[in-house]
């Protein structure tokens, strides 16, 4: 069940980049449940993509999957063009696709660094470029929400390239929001904190040696007694993409229970 109204996204063509799994798939479903005319998801896994697209169609929207690896700038631009050619326009974009592979300042290879920059920063840049050009061509308003990370404030030592890419996306978000405010294109970002997804389960077990019960132990140590929940985050992202978020643009919202700068 969604906490959003069933007509919040009525008439909107929504693109969720990285919508085949995790938070992206939750955002796509929320957009569909909120009355979007069409919800297009992208990702590299065709089997997962087609499954989620079918779920979206069953929810009453025009669900579609486009296979795309946005680490390739042309693929990012082609993705937007595919949405526009199929549905006539793109009204709302959620840039969710990312890699969270580990690396510190001293052990990150040039290849690992480029991987983060290409997927987490360059990809969203060219998705935004394509979407903004379509909105400008039609002299139409639109919204973009970039999913970033609370780690962009500094993060852990083992997230150096990830932090660099997400901090860069934060700067890009503000730059683009300022540049296109008179186009009535609103661009915002959300710094997501520690969130429970299938991907997080894998990361904790493979990168940090977590065992059964790790989630309960971790949750008990947090102020709210739980990790971030993807369905709750999805509600907020869809709200930011909708007209109900009003004039808000250029905002970077921390979605977390850590208060940056607070300490004992």
Q: Where are the domains of the chain?
A: 13-193+230-254, 198-227
Question: What tokens were used for 191?
Answer: 């710094």
CATH 3.40.50.720 fits 13-193+230-254, yes or no: yes
With bands split at pLDDT 50, 70 and 90, how would you rate the model's confidence at 1?
Answer: very low
Gap between the Cα atoms of 201 and 64, Å rounded:
27
Are 160 and 104 in contact, with CB atoms under 8 Å apart? yes
Q: Taking Cα atoms as reference points, which of 79, 76, 62 lies closest to residue 13?
A: 62
pLDDT above 70 coverage of the chain, percent: 98
Q: Strand 92-95's sheet: what is its strand order?
A: 62-67, 38-43, 13-17, 92-95, 142-149, 185-192, 252-255
Taking residues 217-237, report their average pLDDT.
90
Q: How far apart are CA 91 and CA 147, in angstroms?
A: 17
**Closest to 154 (Cα-Cα) out of 258, 224, 234:** 258
DSSP state of 176: H
Instruction: Indicate if the pLDDT at residue 97 is higher than 70.
Output: yes
- CA 11 to CA 36: how far, in whole Å? 6
Query: Does the pLDDT of residue 93 top 90, yes or no?
Result: yes
- Give the helix/strand (H/E) hosting 74: helix 73-87
Least confident range of 64-73, 131-140, 206-215: 206-215
Beta bridge partners of 94: 16, 145
Contact 27, 237 (CB under 8 A): yes
Task: Give pLDDT, residue 220.
Answer: 87
Per-residue pLDDT at 3: 61
**CB burial class (10 A; 0-12, 13-18, 19+) of residue 165?**
buried
146-167 mean pLDDT? 97
According to the model, what pLDDT value does residue 210 have? 75
Distance CA 89, CA 62 (A): 14
């Amino acid at each position: 069940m969604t906490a959003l109204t069933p007509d919040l996204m009525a008439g909107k063509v929504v693109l969720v980049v990285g919508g085949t799994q995790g938070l992206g798939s939750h955002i796509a479903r929320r957009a569909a449940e909120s009355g979007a005319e069409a919800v297009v998801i992208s990702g590299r896994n065709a089997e997962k993509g087609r499954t989620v697209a079918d779920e979206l169609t069953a929810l009453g929207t025009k669900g579609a999957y486009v296979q795309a690896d946005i680490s390739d700038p042309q693929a990012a631009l082609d993705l937007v063009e595919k949405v526009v050619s199929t549905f006539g326009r793109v009204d709302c974009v959620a840039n969710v696709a990312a890699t969270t592979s580990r690396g510190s300042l001293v052990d990150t290879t040039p290849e690992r660094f480029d991987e983060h920059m290409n997927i987490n920063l360059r990809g969203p840049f060219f998705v935004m470029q394509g979407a903004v050009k379509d909105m400008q061509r039609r002299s139409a308003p639109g919204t973009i929400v970039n999913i970033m990370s609370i780690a962009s404030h500094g993060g852990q030592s083992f997230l150096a390239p990830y932090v660099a890419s997400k901090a860069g996306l934060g700067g890009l978000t503000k730059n683009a929001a300022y540049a296109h405010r008179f186009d009535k294109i609103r661009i915002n970002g959300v710094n997501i904190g520690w969130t429970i997804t299938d991907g997080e389960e894998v990361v904790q077990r493979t990168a940090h040696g977590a065992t059964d019960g790790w989630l309960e132990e971790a949750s008990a140590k947090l102020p709210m007694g739980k990790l971030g929940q993807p369905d709750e985050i999805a509600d907020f992202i869809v709200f930011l993409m909708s007209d109900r978020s009003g004039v808000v643009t250029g905002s970077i919202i921390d979605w977390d229970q850590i208060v940056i700068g607070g300490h004992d």
